Amino acid sequence: MQEKIRLCHLYPDLLNLYGDRGNILALVRRASLRGIDFEVEAVSLGEHFDPDRYDMFFLGGGQDAEQNILRNDFVSVKGDKIKEAVAKNKVFLCICGGYQMMGHYYEEHDGHRIECLGAINIWTVGKKSRFIGDTVYSCGLFPDSTTLYGFENHSGRTYLGEGVKPLAKVLTGAGNNGEDGMEGAVFKNVYCTYSHGSFLPKNPEMTDYLIKTALEVQKGGPFQLSPLTTEVEDFARNALPTCKKP
Amino acid sequence: MMNIRAGFAVGTAKGISKVLRLLGRGATTLPGRIALKIYPQILSLLSKDQKIIVLTGTNGKTTTTHMAAGILKSLGFTVITNVSGANLATGIATTMIEGIRIRTRAEKAGKKTVYVIEADEAAFSKVNGQLQPQVCVVTNLFRDQLDRYGELVHTQAFIAKGLDAVTARILLDADDSLVAALERGREDRVVFFGMDEGSMTRNTVTNPLKSGLSETTSDASYCSFCQTKYEYRARSFGHLGAFYCPGCGYSRKEPDFLVSYSTQTAAGSLSESSDDLGPADVGFPVTLAYSGESVTIALPIPGLHNFYNTAAAVAACVALGEKCGEPGLSFANCAKAIEFVQPAFGRMEKIPIGAKSLCLLLVKNPVGLERALSFVSQASDAGGMYLLLNSNDADGKDVSWIWDVDFESRSYPEKVFVSGERYGDMYLRLAYAGIDKDRMHALPMTGCQDLLDEALAKCEDGKCLYILPNYTAMLALREILVRRYHLKDFWK
């Protein structure tokens, strides 16, 4: 029987910055190349939301003005259903603004606090200076490759509370807050990062890990993905200015 | 009368620009930078009592500036304009200083002078009040390099500030909801330009799309005033189109300057699989209309986005004529004059190289790249495509925007070449768009010249190699072209 994964792309018309849709292209590509049917559905502002339909959820980043438009819908209208999906171990990938909105609050640099969903125990404090640049992380999620590559562009400093683990250790770049040397967050199957755009395309191990996890949750047991080359991804990673040449 | 300090500033700047020219380097910003240091009000001084058009917006301003300058020149005016994207205060000051010489010479010859100035959006808010133009043009607002400019609403606020510092007539793109929103509070000064609804490529009548009228990525999906999602009667590209807000009723106004063309004619000359019509040929007939008059012209520079640039340039010249009482700048004269305009630096510039040619299309942001890809995929003479992606300060450090561009729904020339400092990122983008790795050849920026030679060698006779660089990649490429293929330097 053909495997099938259905992904819910939340607010794609509002959270569409910094190439975050590249992550979905990566999931579609590496699932399809293995013969796994991968379906993407968009659910936006004011639209009907049935989380049980989906194995995965994607939340990208947007401009401040646009994040303000959707915040109420996200927190007050869809919020409980999202928390329920988190509790059911559904796979989430949340990038930058999406990462921040999953936490308790975002405090602006003037001290004004914007309440967020609070689905995971993290919070963010905005600063005027931005962290911009290529990043390299060391990640302990998978056995083979432990290096992840990204690009960060954020002014928020995110802090993790109890029960939430960082996604990776920072080798190059600022990470969550530029203080503790950690990047991203993991809570149940919610994976968060500040790495934009080409995060999954440049990190096929992460892409595969998310696909595998989604199928395991769906089946309620272990699942082995068929092997798949990372040739084009390796070429791109080797070309990065941050890549250590052998 | 110039005071001593101002005179010193101008004199120093002129001297520096002369030295730089003798050294063979383009003096596009340094003289102005120094003059502004010595005398910060230099722009007010030099623009006093002059005829001036200032253009801003995220895309198309260089082309529109170039077109307006071309119209005015062919109608007998002497034009002073900034070249090659020197559109910050320093570049504008340099242009004004070098303009003194040009203006004096024009006066002696009994010719009238017009300044056509392109201003970066942030620079616009600062310099517009000093320049006191008669006409301002806002081309459009698309997301640009976000690490440099910040969010679009901030850009919009910058432009509003610049508009409020002057009494000029304001020309706005009616089809861009972010630009058109600038009309509020400035109604008596605003004139709109835009595209005829029936000519928009994605409309419900002549070219309905299976997937409806939605876009992969829109920079303005929600109403500027009440944050309800816009609906569209028709769309041209990006967020441009005949929008209306079901919430508060804000909607696109009928443009005063209207550009239209026959979608039937266009469809005939293009591939049938393409959803994205937009004539890729020079000389395509388009009709411009204003105030009950209409003129059909041959489009001087191809591409759907140039329909807007054409309308904006003609409108700017006509508006200047009306404001300054220049009967020579009639609508019919200006519209006809645009047929003789050649492409600007790096914008659809076609350069013959032996039996082949190459065409440079500068791509700086998602909608620019989107337009360029659309163009190349439709061009019948495409003999290869060469993309170069750099990430210097002038390009923006963040190249993640290439993932916001729809590469997937188009087909490309068989041979694809990739270079630039971020050649790996671009290679991966193309690979993920389904271009087989055997069709691609990618080299780091140090190999960009070799790759150019190879791409040209693989391009068949009679065909054109399309090159899509971002800003600093284009400058580097331009130097190679000057050196190896003996092209003329851009500042000459």
How high does pLDDT run on average in chain A? Answer: 93
Is residue A116 predicted with pLDDT exceeding 90? yes
CATH architecture under which domain A4-238 falls: 3-Layer(aba) Sandwich (3.40)
pLDDT band at B212 (very low <50, low <70, confident <90, very high): very low
Give the residue extent of every domain in chain B: 45-77+112-340, 347-485
**What is the structure's pLDDT at B24?**
65
pLDDT in tens, A50-72: 999 999 999 998 878 788 889 99
Neighboring chain B residues of A29 at a CB cutoff of 8 Å: 432
Closest to A132 (Cβ–Cβ): which among B152, B221, B397? B397
d(Cα B469, Cα B454) in Å, to the nearest integer?
Answer: 17
Q: What pTM value is reported for the model?
A: 0.87
**What is the structure's pLDDT at B489?**
53
d(Cα B147, Cα B120) in Å, to the nearest integer?
Answer: 15
The nearest CA of chain A is from the CA of B22 a distance in Å of 37
- The dihedral region occupied by A10, where left means phi > 0, alpha psi between -120 and 50, and beta the remainder, is beta
Between residues B238 and B206, which one has the greater pLDDT? B238
**What is the structure's pLDDT at B29?**
84
Is residue A206 predicted with pLDDT exceeding 50? yes
pLDDT band at A224 (very low <50, low <70, confident <90, very high): very high
Between residues A109 and A10, which one has the greater pLDDT? A10
Return the active site residues of A. Answer: 96, 196
What is the DSSP code string of B160-189? HHHHHT---EEEEETT-HHHHGGGTT-GGG
Average of per-residue pLDDT across B284-302: 91
Average of per-residue pLDDT across B179-194: 97
Block residue for tokens 């401040």? A64
Average of per-residue pLDDT across B42-48: 92
Q: List, edge to edge, every strand of the sheet that includes B78-81.
A: B78-81, B113-118, B51-56, B135-138, B169-173, B190-195, B257-260, B285-290, B293-298
Q: List, edge to edge, every strand of the sheet that includes B231-235.
A: B202-203, B231-235, B241-244
pLDDT in tens, A87-110: 999 999 999 999 999 999 999 888
Locate A243 and state its tokens: 């890549």
**What is the structure's pLDDT at B492?**
37
Q: Give the DSSP H or E segment for A112.
A: none
Average of per-residue pLDDT across B405-414: 89
d(Cα A225, Cα B302) in Å, to the nearest integer?
Answer: 48
How high does pLDDT run on average in chain B? Answer: 87
**What is the structure's pLDDT at A244?**
64
d(Cα B425, Cα A35) in Å, to the nearest integer?
Answer: 26
Between residues B238 and A192, which one has the greater pLDDT? A192
Give the residue extent of every domain in chain A: 4-238
**What is the structure's pLDDT at B215?**
45
Chain B interface with A: residues with Cβ < 8 Å = 143, 146-147, 151-153, 216-218, 221-222, 227, 229, 397-404, 408, 421-425, 427-429, 431-432, 437, 442, 444
pLDDT band at A122 (very low <50, low <70, confident <90, very high): very high
**What is the structure's pLDDT at B1?**
54
The nearest CA of chain B is from the CA of A229 a distance in Å of 13
**Is the distance from CB of B361 to CB of B314 less than 8 angstroms?**
no
d(Cα A25, Cα B432) in Å, to the nearest integer?
Answer: 7
Q: Which CATH number fits domain B45-77+112-340: 3.40.1190.10, 3.30.60.50, 2.40.50.140, 1.10.1040.10?
A: 3.40.1190.10
**What is the structure's pLDDT at B70?**
95
Is residue B160 predicted with pLDDT exceeding 80? yes
CATH of domain B347-485: 3.90.190.20
ipTM of the complex: 0.95
**What is the structure's pLDDT at B151?**
77
